[in-house]
Chain A
Amino acid sequence: MSAPLIWIGIPLLLAPLLWFIKRGDIIAFFGGISALFLSALAWLIPINTAIRITANISFKISDSIEILGRQIIINPEDQSLLALLYGLAALWFFGSSAAYIARRFVPLGMTILALLIASLAVEPFLYAALIIQTAILIAVPLLSPPENKPGRGVIRFLIYQTLAMPFILFSGWLLAGVESSPGDIELLTQAAVLLALGFAFLLSIFPLFTWIPLLMEEASPYAVGFILWLLPTAVFLFALGFLNRYAWLREYPQLPNVLRTAGLIMVLTGGLSAAFQRHLGRMMGYASIVNMGFSLLSLSLIADHQLSAFSLLLIPQALGLVIWSLALSVLKMREKSLDFKNVQGMIQRYPIIISGIIFAHFSAIGLPLLAGFPPIIAIWSGVAKEEIIAASWVAIGLASLLTGAIRTLAVVVMTDDEDGWTLNGGTLQNILIGLGIFFILLLGIFPQFSYPVLSNLPSAFRYIGG
């Protein structure tokens, strides 16, 4: 038995089997339980260590498997990362039943997750770009069902993500040259610029993020939310792989500045755009851009804090997105549109669902008491310590995102209390969103609860993990 077979092979085999089940809630349950099981396995069973069951029987999970001359390696240090990714994916799979898209979502989601994990484990690691591209292609039917005509957002998503691949491959080719002749400044510059462009496309840095708001309007918010969680997470981990591998890159003096600038651009453009939106879906899209900006800012603090700031963001961002997108999906299903004029005064009809949207939005801003606050304040302080001007730009971005949240709040409460309060929405939907709000509050007050899960994450990246 090998680790790649368990954490990549099994989900890839399970995904097509789930297609044959007719009922969405059963698919969601199986998908969620499978992901949870894989997460527990990653947490509990050691790799490359013999496990004795009885006096005579023992087994060992090897760390690699060879496919077509390429190796897929999952080290023991990667296990907490796997546990986290599968654990968070379980949340998404369980929630898909309440969003009524489990039949399509769980099989495709599981395939995408397995492929993205494969992209982090493949050697030579440049093949990761190809595997990521495959995952992106598989995401297309998730975002645009075959019976529907693909919208502008999904086409743009495909174009921008595909454009990233040649840049990454070219840069990888040049990086091999840089390793052999590190003094060649010209080559180094070309490699760095191509790498930056590749990641700019993958991470949708301004102005390449237009697919996000467009997709939020035309596709299921839950499906888009999943992609907005999983894809950037995998891409960031892929980028960390680059930093971990190439000493010249991680010791590059301009690197923190470049990362900080890119992060600031995303926080600022995402925040400012959110301030002027009149569509709840687009608002979430722009908030996810701000999320990515904060991830970039956290990476700019690697010299002082290694990966602790980055890993601290993972759970609050995922939790916020899953609640936000579930609430939007429910609202879109029931009210057909997420435009401000359609959701006016909805808090009296959907108190828990609307609260989910509000809490997730405020968590993305980093409102104290909510899950997003501890990582955001830590990163913001780190940036302030480096450069107070940069911290003031972060403040403007957050204030703009807050404007969006306040406008949303104002719109959803804007009604004369004539009909009174009713609790609409399905029981499961209300329970899941209610639970999500509870966990947002819990992680806001006690961020240390997530620390045992996160403390081992940096060890997956030996040279930058600290």
Chain B
Amino acid sequence: MLIIITIAIFFISALALLLLRLFNPDFRYLWLVAAIGAFLAWLSVFFWQLKMPILLALPAWQPESLFINSPTLLADELSWAYAYSLATLALGVIFTAVARENFPSTPAWAGTLALGAVGILAVLAENPLTLVIAWSAIDLAELSTLLTSVREKKQREHVVISFSTRILGTGFLLWAGMVSMTEGTSQNFLTASQSAGIYMLIAAGLRLGILPMHIPFKTESALRRGYETMLRLTAAASSLILLAHIPQESLQSPIIPYLLGIISLTALYSAWMWFQTKKTLDARPYWMLGMASLALSATLRANPVGSVAWGVALVLGGGVLFLSSVENKWLNRLLLGSLIATSTLPLTLTATAWESNTSQWAGYWIILLPAHVLLLTGYFRHAQRKDKGTFKSHNRFTLLAYPLGIGIMLFSLILLGFWGWEGSASLGAWQFALASLFLTALVIWFLPRINTFVPLQAHWITETKPQKRKTFIYDFSLSLYYFLREGFKKITNIFEGDGGILWALLIIILFASLLAEGIR
């Protein structure tokens, strides 16, 4: 019931906004409706704690003989952290919307609230069936949003590629369910079979853009800072939750070290790009990729709590930075609180993030630690940037709502460090945290002193670099595709040509003789 209340508040608020806009376009309090809806939904998530874990079975799919699993939601301590993060993000997007150039933007607010609901449904999924449905809803929302907001042919191609990779990820999760079923286990996360885990891992990797690494693309849209931040981070959170569900026994696979190697390199590359890219929103894909890689590496070290910690830091830490668009000395300083939450220091949100329950870990920290350092340094740089707007151009209302939105997100980051899940507020692997923080401080000190660290222009996200990077995989895939297409074309021509009927009959006769032999 508690889950339904939260979801219903989100959906009803979104619907109310759209109806009000449709039937009463002059209504002046649309933002207030959105803000109250988001706030009530956010508040309601706290009440889940009274009855955790909460299991909510939605109306069963029929016939039940065919559908062993039906959509079911489960709020446990890990999924609660993600749900709370998404509710906070939605609240942050609505509250900070007052500082946007496109204010008021009712469809975007309605979309944000609806995404909040779908995102929460995704992170609460108790089984792959529920998760893939929520994934598809997010994918279709993302596809339609991006197709209407990007203008160039090449970027649209990227949108389609990104969409297809996510669908492929969905397919891998479905396949994991099949594998579980053949081994006699039920198709839910709690009882997922050992061999299904590797497919779940690939599914998460594909959807997060890590396996293989997706080339990020930038969009130019008025919705970019608010609605698009919500969209991108919801999509990431809905994929990251899968990492918390992967059975630990399946991490004994021989390919795990290789996967960890690829993921570590992806983390390092993304972190470097995040650090180097000048514009924060252009760098957003790299933040997501880098943090998601760290989350995935935590999973591979059999540390699901760590993966959730990285994931929540990705959503809330990233969210507060991407939504921040107004220059203010105190808010800039407050943003550094988010840096602390991501630093893996004891008693912070990410304190448990470096912990490891396997023996594979040692070899990779040499790559992962610098990646973390670059992510933190990049965060510092983006938080201190000077290209933001100012309060002067906005009204009194902005002065209250905007900092409140930022403040709630920062408060949530700190709160989750103490109250996120059982075992939070711990010391964690403090040695790594100290090393990371020391190196971060060092790089920040060197930042203005070494030219390599100061990019002259945001030239990293250009069309040429990604083109070069994708050449081999792209060329190989295309060559294979064209080769197969030519083969199929020839076969089709034979069967659709003048002699096609005779060829078909010949094959049928052969088939019939084989069938007769088989029956005998």
Interface residues, chain A, CB within 8 Å of chain B?
Answer: 152, 156, 159-160, 185, 188-189, 192-193, 196-197, 200, 207-208, 210, 213-214, 254, 258, 272-273, 275-276, 304-305, 308-309, 312, 347, 367-370, 373-374, 377-378, 380-382, 384-385, 388, 391, 395, 398-399, 402, 406, 409-410, 413-417, 421, 444-448, 451, 455
Chain B contact residues, majority secondary structure: helix
A187 CB, nearest partner CB in chain B, Å: 12
Asked whether, in the complex, the Cβ of B178 is within 8 Å of the Cβ of A391, the reply is yes
Q: Which residues of A contact B150 (CB under 8 A)?
A: 417
The residue from A258, A378, A395, A445 contacting B175, defined by CB atoms under 8 A apart = A395
- Flag if A159 contacts B501 (CB, 8 Å): yes
Give 1 or 0 for each of B489-509: 1 = CB within 8 Å of chain A CB: 100100110001101100110
B interface bracket (residues with beta carbon within 8 Å of A): 35 or more
B67 touches A (CB below 8 Å)? yes
Q: Which residue of A lies closest to B156 (CB)?
A: A413
Contact A369/B512 with A446-B59, A448-B61 known, Cβ cut-off 8 Å: no
Residues of B within 8 A of A258 (CB): 515
Residues from chain B with Cβ under 8 Å of A369 in the complex: 133, 136-137, 140
Task: Decide if B178 touches A384 in the complex (CB within 8 Å).
Answer: yes
B171 close to A (CB within 8 Å): yes
Closest 4 CB pairs between A and B? A417-B151, A369-B136, A384-B178, A368-B132
Given A207-B507, A378-B66, A368-B179 contact (CB < 8 Å): no
Question: Are B63 and A308 in touch, CB under 8 angstroms?
Answer: yes
Separation of A447 and B61 alpha carbons in the complex (Å): 6
User: When the two chains form their complex, are residues A406 and B488 in contact, meaning their CB atoms are under 8 A apart?
Assistant: no
Closest to A386 in B: B182
CA distance A185 to B485 in the complex (A): 44
How far apart are A394's CB and chain B's nearest CB, in angstroms? Answer: 9
Q: Which of A152, A276, A374, A406 touches B489 (beta carbons < 8 Å)?
A: A276
Q: With a CB–CB cut-off of 8 A, which chain A residues contact B485?
A: 276
What residues of chain A lie closer than 8 Å to B55, measured between beta carbons?
none
Contacts of A447 in B (CB 8 A): 61-62
Question: In the complex the two chains form, is A192's CB within 8 Å of B519's CB?
Answer: yes
A347 to B174, CA, bound (A): 30
Complex: A147 Cα to B152 Cα, angstroms: 45
A304→B63 CA distance, assembly (Å): 13
User: At the interface, yes or no: B265 with Cβ under 8 Å from chain A?
Assistant: no
Quick check: is B420 within 8 A (CB to CB) of the other chain? no
Whether B19 sits at the interface, judged by CB under 8 Å, is no
Give the docked Cα–Cα distance between A196 and B504 (Å).
15
**Beta-carbon contact of A305 and B66 below 8 Å:** yes
Q: Which of A188, A196, A305, A308 is within 8 Å of B515, CB to CB?
A: A196
In the complex, the answer to whether A254 meets B140 with C-beta atoms within 8 Å is no
Q: How far is the CA of A275 from the CA of B504 in the complex (A)?
A: 22
Which of B147, B489, B503, B518 is A207 in contact with, Cβ under 8 Å?
A: B503
Contact call A415/B153, Cβ cutoff below 8 A: yes
Complex contact A384–B181 (CB within 8 A):
yes
B157 interface contact, C-beta 8 A: yes
Asked if B160 is at the interface of the complex by the 8 Å CB criterion, the answer is: yes
Q: Does the CB pair A388–B178 fall under 8 Å? A: yes
The smallest beta-carbon distance between B480 and chain A, in angstroms, is 12
B213 to chain A, nearest CB (A): 19
Question: Judging by beta carbons under 8 Å apart, are A381 and B519 in contact?
Answer: no
Whether B65 sits at the interface, judged by CB under 8 Å, is yes
Whether B167 sits at the interface, judged by CB under 8 Å, is yes
Please tell me which one of the listed residues A208, A380, A421, A451 contacts residue B178 in the complex, with CB atoms under 8 A apart. A380
Would you list which residues of chain B between 464 and 520 have a CB under 8 Å from chain A?
484-485, 488-489, 492, 495-496, 500-501, 503-504, 507-508, 511-512, 515-516, 518-520
A367 pairs with B156, CB closer than 8 A: no
Most chain A beta carbons < 10 A, residue from B170, B187, B500, B515: B515
Cα A59 to Cα B133 in complex, Å, equals: 49
| Additional A-B contacts beyond A347-B147, A391-B182 (7; CB < 8 A) | A189-B516, A192-B519, A193-B512, A210-B500, A416-B151, A417-B151, A455-B63
Please give, as numbers and ranges, the residues of chain A lying within 8 Å of B59 by CB-CB distance: 446, 448
Complex formed: what's the CA distance from A113 to B246 in Å? 51
Least Cβ–Cβ distance between B277 and chain A, in angstroms: 25
Contacting pair B133 A309 (CB below 8 A): no
Whether B159 is near chain A, meaning CB under 8 Å from some CB there, is yes
Interfacial chain B residues near A384, Cβ < 8 Å = 178-179, 181-182
Q: A207-B507, A213-B496, A381-B177 are in contact. Are A399 and B153 (CB under 8 A)?
A: no
A254 touches B65 (CB 8 A): no
CA distance A159 to B167 in the complex (A): 40
User: Is there contact, CB below 8 Å, between B159 and A413?
Assistant: yes
Q: Are B157's CB and A414's CB within 8 A?
A: yes
List residues 220-264 of chain B with CB under 8 A from any CB of chain A: none
Tell me if B129 is interfacial: C-beta within 8 Å of chain A.
yes
| B167 near A367: Cβ-Cβ < 8 Å | yes
Question: In whole Å, how far is B216's beta carbon from the nearest beta carbon of chain A?
Answer: 18
The reply to whether B177 and A308 form a contact with Cβ atoms under 8 Å apart is: no
Contacts of B511 in A (CB 8 A): 200
* Set of chain B residues within 8 Å of A152, measured between Cβ atoms: 496
Q: Are B179 and A406 in contact (CB under 8 A)?
A: no
Q: Mark B389-413, 1 if CB is under 8 A from A, else 0.
A: 0000000000000000000000000
Contacts of B147 in A (CB 8 A): 347, 413
- CB contacts (< 8 Å) of A370 on chain B: these are 136
- Give Cα distance in the complex from A353 to B65, angstroms: 37
**What are 26 inter-chain pairs, A to B, with CB distance below 8 A?**
A152-B496, A193-B519, A207-B504, A213-B496, A272-B488, A276-B484, A276-B488, A367-B136, A367-B170, A369-B133, A369-B137, A374-B67, A380-B178, A381-B177, A381-B187, A395-B171, A395-B175, A398-B171, A402-B167, A402-B168, A406-B167, A410-B160, A414-B156, A417-B150, A448-B61, A455-B62
